Amino acid sequence: MSSIFLPPPIQLINSEIALKAGVQLSVLRLDLMHPSVNGNKWFKLKYNILEAKAQKLSTLLTFGGAFSNHIYATAAAGKLFDFRTIGMIRGEETLPLNPTLQFALEQGMQLVYLDRQTYGQRHTQELQEDLKQRFGEVYIIPEGGGNSLGVRGCLEIIPQTANFDTVCLACGTGTTAAGITLSLHPHQKAIAFPVLKGGEFLNAEIDRLLNHYLPSGSFAPWQLVCDYHFGGYAKVNQDLLRFCQNFALEHHIPLDYVYTGKMFYGVMDLIQRGFFPPGEKLLLIHTGGLQGNVGMEAQLLKKTFKFSNS
Ligand SMILES: *Cc1c(COP(=O)(O)O)cnc(C)c1O
């Protein structure tokens, strides 16, 4: 099943800022593995899909917001691997559908909307039983693919051949950060950048995921850098937008505004502040998410338009 995917290339970045700081910068391009099932979301889905097959379940049911990369990837993976898919979407239906949900629908995903209160119950046994009553025998994948099978897939993200001291990645649920940390050598280190406000809670969450996976606690060091959330999940400002545009122009690497843009911004800022010692080799994980830019840019345009009209 992995043969459908291209091995992610590692791209060396020629950056003046990094050069000046004596830091080597490379990017692992998970965004290039597949046109639609890409980024870290594929790794989080992989063992869930294998488990669904092992349990002989032919329907995947999962949860996400209206712009969710996970919904997008699950819909595409379902089509690719012959599963029926059901997406439980947070909030009310908005028509016309945004590009994310339109794509999911085109892949054959059934979209079902949950009001925010019910959506809040998504982890409860009760709601999951309800859903099985309603949709039959389904394999339930938690929001974002954030379970221990998701962690397991993320152990496979970094290729054996990669040569680096510190890996940097954007962080939502912490599942990817946990899997990547588990795959490191003891002399390496992970830095995770939460993209939501108050990301400090992820310290406990990542700890939990790590210890669940490896109770001995013998994994490489890791840390959170919580200063680059830009006001919260999916919040952006001019500074971030400009950074992403410039980065794409200069290095020919497109970034998404929700995850990778914030992490790359954070890393470049930390380099400028002398956070990393000279000689340090950094590997930045491009976790994908570019599909979300289309909907995001449309929304930003609408806002600018409203703004200039008022
Ligand atoms: C979901 C996502 C993340 C965050 O992954 P977690 O495992 O939830 O921390 C990072 N980058 C992109 C592009 C994503 O879609």
Give the span between the Cα atoms of 144 and 66, in whole angstroms. 13
Does 287 sit in the ligand 1 pocket, CB within 6 Å? yes
40-145 CATH, one of 2.40.128.690, 3.40.50.1100, 2.30.110.10, 1.10.10.10: 3.40.50.1100
Average pLDDT taken over every residue of the chain: 95
- pLDDT value at residue 84: 98
pLDDT band at 309 (very low <50, low <70, confident <90, very high): very low
Does the beta carbon of 40 lie inside 6 Å of ligand 1? yes
Q: What is the mean pLDDT of residues 41-65?
A: 98
Ligand 1 centre to CA of 191 (Å) is 14
For residue 89, the model assigns a pLDDT of 98
Identify the active-site residue in 2, 3, 58, 68.
Answer: 68
Closest listed residue to residue 191, CA positions, set 170, 208, 216, 172: 170
Placement of tokens 């890393």 in the chain: 267
> How much is the pLDDT for 2?
66
**Under a CB-based contact definition with an 8 Å cutoff, are residues 247 and 253 in contact?**
yes
Q: How far apart are the first and last CA of the chain?
A: 53
Separation CA 226–CA 220 (nearest Å): 20
User: CA 262, CA 15: separation in Å to the nearest integer?
Assistant: 17
**156: number of Cβ within 10 Å:** 15
> For 242-273, how does the pLDDT look when each residue is reduced to its tens digit (9 = 90+)?
999 999 999 999 999 999 999 999 999 999 99
Is 68 one of the catalytic residues? yes
Give residue 300's pLDDT.
Answer: 83
192: CA distance to ligand 1 center in Å?
A: 11
Ordered strands of the 189-194 beta sheet: 10-12, 24-29, 281-286, 166-171, 189-194, 222-224
pLDDT band at 310 (very low <50, low <70, confident <90, very high): very low
Ligand 1 pocket test, pick from 40, 148, 180, 258 with the greatest ligand atom count within 8 Å of Cβ, gives 40
3-state secondary structure of 282: strand
Residue 64's beta-bridge partner residues?
Answer: 89
- How far, in Å, is the centroid of ligand 1 from the Cα of 40? 6
Look at residue 39 and tell me whether its pLDDT is greater than 60.
yes
What stretches of the chain show up as alpha helix (H) in DSSP? 16-21, 40-54, 69-80, 99-106, 116-119, 125-135, 148-154, 175-183, 202-213, 238-251, 260-272, 291-309
pLDDT band at 307 (very low <50, low <70, confident <90, very high): low
Peptide bond into 96 cis (omega under 30): yes
Distance from residue 278's CA to the centre of ligand 1 (Å) = 29
Coil, helix or strand at residue 4: helix
CATH number of 2-35+153-307: 3.40.50.1100
Q: Which atom of ligand 1 is nearest to the CA of 290?
A: 13
DSSP-derived secondary structure for 255-266: --TTTHHHHHHH
**Cα separations (Å) of 143 from 55, 58, 69, 119, 175?**
20, 19, 10, 10, 11
How far does residue 308's CA lie from ligand 1's centre (Å)? 33
Instruction: Assign residue 13 a region (left: φ > 0; alpha: ψ between -120 and 50; beta: otherwise).
Output: beta
Domain pair 2-35+153-307 / 40-145, same fold: yes
Q: Please state, in angstroms and as integers, the Cα–Cα distance from residue 39 to each residue in 54, 201, 223, 289, following that order.
A: 24, 24, 22, 7
* Averaged pLDDT for residues 297-308: 73
- Once rounded to an integer, what is the mean pLDDT over residues 25-47? 96
Going by alpha carbons, the residue nearest to atom 13 of ligand 1 is: 289
pLDDT at 146 over 70: yes
The domain locations on the chain are 2-35+153-307, 40-145
Do the beta carbons of residue 192 and residue 224 sit within 8 Å? yes
Cα within 13 Å of Cα(35), Cβ side: 2
Tell me the pLDDT tens digit for each residue of 205-220. Answer: 999 999 999 988 889 9
Q: Count the neighbouring beta carbons within 10 Å of the beta carbon of residue 301.
A: 10
Numbers of helices and strands, H then E, in the chain:
12, 10
Pocket test for ligand 1, best of 176, 181, 225, 264 (most atoms within 8 A of CB): 176
